[in-house]
Amino acid sequence: MANTMHTGRCVSGAVLAFVLLLTGCSYGIGSSNSYQEPDCDGVLANAIQGVRADDSSGTTDSYFQWLTENCSYEYDILVDYTSTRGAASGALGPEPCSDLAQYLVPEAIELLLADGLCTSGSALAAPEPVEQPGDGIAWDAAVSYAGTEQRVCGPLVGDGYSEDDVFLNLGLDYPDPGRFQIIVWDVGGLEPIAYGSTLCTSGVITLYNGVAQIELYDPSRISIYE
């Protein structure tokens, strides 16, 4: 019985088309002269694209397997990228890229940076709190001290009137709930105060609909720093 020989066969079975795509081998007679070196960069690029697209078809897994067997460095890039990608998308968020350089290959860090999954430069130090006149606390910290007596300072950004009552908004203007307000009851009116001036006053901090405030009846308890 005569057997027919097929030269240049790369692989057989279900993975045939995948390997042919990667290597450039053709299936059939006379293919031995068309063999090309495996394209590690190309397979890595396809794998990265699949990971970014959350591919679940199995094709991306095939890329992983092929890189494992043929391109060890590109496989390291892929593993570093994918293993860090999940953590960076979690509750803790991205790390500084400079910190990742201690244990990831540079190409993986470049991919993470391109995806916004690590931050360029070093982590910024928390800003030092600005010193307030008379050892007061800043307007935006007042909400954390509700129920206590404090001296609160901040820039005047807006004001309002309701009959004989005056409302002075520090830091943010009405109706922003993050503002701090000084209320002066039954005063009728105040001399104009330049916006941007720093105002300080002392009293018990209360909350009204989430807005931190100090209520006064005597406007002389307000200090003005221009």
| Structural domains for the chain | 38-119 (no CATH), 133-225 (2.40.50.140)
More confident: 92 or 25: 92
DSSP state of 129: P
Q: Identify the weakest region by mean pLDDT among 69-83, 85-99, 177-191.
A: 85-99
In this prediction the pTM is 0.46
End-to-end CA distance of the chain: 106
More confident: 81 or 20: 81
DSSP state of 220: G
Partnered with residue 152 across adjacent β-strands are 137, 201
More confident: 102 or 108: 108
Q: What is the pLDDT of residue 132?
A: 87
Q: How big, in percent rounded to 5, are the helix, strand and coil portions of the chain?
A: 35, 20, 45
**Measured between alpha carbons, how far is 187 from 165 in angstroms, rounded to an integer?**
6
The CB density around residue 47, as the number of other CB atoms within 10 Å, is 25
**Measured between alpha carbons, how far is 159 from 130 in angstroms, rounded to an integer?**
24
More confident: 134 or 219: 219
Looking only at the bridges linking them, the beta strands covering 180-184 and 137-138 are unpaired
Omega within 30 of 0 (cis) for the link into 129: no
Per-residue pLDDT, averaged over 68-91, amounts to 84
Block residue for tokens 């790390």: 95
Per-residue pLDDT, averaged over 119-132, amounts to 60
- Over the stretch 142-201, which tens digit does the pLDDT of each residue have? 988 999 999 999 999 999 999 899 999 999 999 888 899 999 999 998 999 999 999 999
pLDDT band (50, 70, 90) for residue 87: confident
pLDDT band (50, 70, 90) for residue 91: low
| H/E segment holding residue 99 | helix 97-100
**Measured between alpha carbons, how far is 35 from 37 in angstroms, rounded to an integer?**
7
User: Which of 159, 209, 161 is CA-nearest to residue 185?
Assistant: 161
Cβ–Cβ < 8 Å for 184, 162: no
User: CB neighbours of 118 closer than 8 A, spacing ≥ 6?
Assistant: 84, 88, 94, 95, 96, 97, 100, 109, 112
Q: Kindly tell me if the per-residue pLDDT of 106 is higher than 70.
A: yes
Partnered with residue 156 across adjacent β-strands are 170
**Measured between alpha carbons, how far is 126 from 115 in angstroms, rounded to an integer?**
25
pLDDT band (50, 70, 90) for residue 124: very low
Residue 59: phi and psi, rounded to 5, are -65, -45
